[in-house]
Structure 1
Amino acid sequence: MMDFALNEEQLELQEMVREFVEKEITPYAAEMDAENHMRDGLIDKANEMGLLNVIVPEELDGPGLDSISVATIYEELGKGCAGVATSLAANSLATVPVLLAGTDEQKKMYCDILNNGGLAAFALTEPGAGSDAGGVSTRAVHNKEEGTYTLNGTKMFITNGGLAEIFLVFANTRKTGGIRGLTAFIVPKDTPGFSVGKKENKMGIRPSNTTELVLQDVVIPESYRVGREGEGFRIAMNTLDSARPFVGAVSVGIAQAALDCAVKYAKERRQFGQPIASFQMVQGMLADMAMKVETARLMVQKACWMRDQGMEFSKEAAMAKCYAADTAMQVTTDAVQVMGGYGYTKEYPVEKMMRDAKIMQIYEGTNQIQRLVIANKLLY
């Protein structure tokens, strides 16, 4: 049976990450947001804490954590700064395809980089292909005699694009395109013809590095193809199923942090001779916020538990991601409302949380796409 309580190891892990966040992330979150990048040395410190390879199994020299433990880590990171959480979680997103469909050699090559403190990136989105993965136009031409593939195309909105050492790139091996030709490839950053384009200036998650990628006659060996030709769509969808509860966990972290700020402020702020926490309208808002956060957390935990049990969890993953992301947006908006004019200023962190929350409804499948996934599971 599923246990709603974290076990002793998970509680120790949670406390360890919480202390790291309170010391190394939260005090610098506003500064990193303003400067549009993570502060120097933070990735190295995160690596020392074992936060870069949380998805790597024991047999590949990783921690071998269960999904609920991973979600617990990302929730704590989300409380401190969703931008930092996004960059670290991108390592998991980019690694799952290799763990799902890669060869033993590919798994070792990929995971060794993470185990040694490197970052990875998942490169699916393009200027003309976001929710529609079948619209990927990056081409991969098979040079059978040479035993290589030549990749040409442009990717965009790639988390860790300018920082990663290794990339999981989706390209089409069919001239006619479509999902039947979508194929996954490993591309190391130093491959000739591979370059990083412009860095995005985003509304939220600003410390997270987000860039364009350009592939111009990038030649890689056949051994860097992950799975068979045409398997890329299945690999991508299974990867997103696995990653969506973790997006939900970051969303829960954002929402919990915003709720904590609103509760603290409501107790301290006085109007009409009493704390605003004594007003029933404010109490009602805080109660609704708390219920949504707790519901989102439980949905994330259930999806993670189902994943670890080897159960079909695509619908639950979509539900967890969608509900938690919507919750983060609603709770951060309500936190700003509770705090009034102060909440709208950068003197308090809730305005940043509100900006950060918005992307949770967009990346790794928009919440509209999540609803289609859920409906498809219900109807077919």
Structure 2
Amino acid sequence: MPVFTAAVGSVTGLSFLSQLFTGDAFSTHSSISTLINPSKFSKSCLKSPIKRSSFYPPKVSVSGGAKAEESEQVTTGAVEDSPDAIRQARRSADWKAARAYIESGSIYEGRIEGFNGGGLLVRFYSLVGFLPFPQLSPSRSCREPHKSIQEIAKGLIGSLISMKVIQADEENRKLIFSEKEALWSKFSKQINVGDLFEARVGSVEDYGAFVHLRFPDGFYHLTGLVHVSEVSWDLVQDVRDFLNEGDEVRVKIIKIDREKSRITLSIKQLEEDPLLETLDKVIPQDGSVGPDSLGTSNSYNIEPLPGLETIFEELLREDGITDVRISRQGFEKRVVSQDLQLWLSNAPAVDKQFTLLARAGRQVQEIQLTTSLDQEGIKKALQRVLERVP
């Protein structure tokens, strides 16, 4: 029986999936036995080798001289007269093999045969699939940041890449691969919440920045997201004011979604919340500012800073706030600002009491706010009060 071949030729896109197969040998980079039994091709990287040959119809054997000869003639004639059926059977088997890779989560060693404007073209037996550029390992661009993605793609032609099949849609002829998913299978086991990484900023979006994690081997294997809320303790109106592509940063892993292959990172949590303050932090009790640096007199003996009394009155009109009083005051070495500054400490509440700090000149006053509101509710109440107070 003659052996049919796949003519590789030049590849310009996914339309290659419907190309005709003619000739007398498979023109791929491996032998026929490898193509018929892909477990030989990728045995070292598959969790459970997938045999493409198991998807083909079984051969029919016929015994007896004349009958055997007749059967051979009929079979040969069928092959020669129905190349479309043979091609379709081969492609159908390969689509089934692709779906089997998805179901098993196995790694496929794919050879790169070309590229286009959106990604790499990957040989999958008689099919050609697609590996989008965003699904490449981040190390490829981090190692050669001076090269364009097209230059990197050109250098990968002919090489074998470990990847996962992430979509196999035979009806719409979509066979999609991901190198990132293959790396996730290997390297996600090495990370935990709380781990710190040196990293490089990839793309920057309005909602945050995608950051590539550098592992001890020096390569960037995984990518996580630093949400805009985790960029800085300062108000971040535009992520690009703080981060740009190529920046070297240090990040902390704060969440791992192993089911969705997602990592949430934080930059700001490497520093203590600057609003996690009490009077003791603002004015350390080390004796460096004199014996009167901290005062613990009865709150009724402490004269409120100019403007505070009006704010207290307005706060008591807010639903959920039952008491506002000055608990302590201190004196700084220097005048920070003559204007009244008021902020809510992020220190946790104790017995439904939150801490406010007020500063003007050298004086700092610590205020205890008794309320049933949570921290966000207090912030909104303060905002309404400050809008009412001239």
Q: Name the TM-score class by shorter chain.
A: under 0.3
Hey, which of these two has a bigger chunk of helix by percent?
1
- After TM superposition, the score normalised by the length of structure 1 is 0.23
- After TM superposition, the score normalised by the length of structure 2 is 0.23
Hey, which of these two has a bigger chunk of strand by percent?
2
Q: Relative CO higher for 1 or 2, CA cutoff 8 Å, sep ≥ 6?
A: 1
Larger Rg: 2
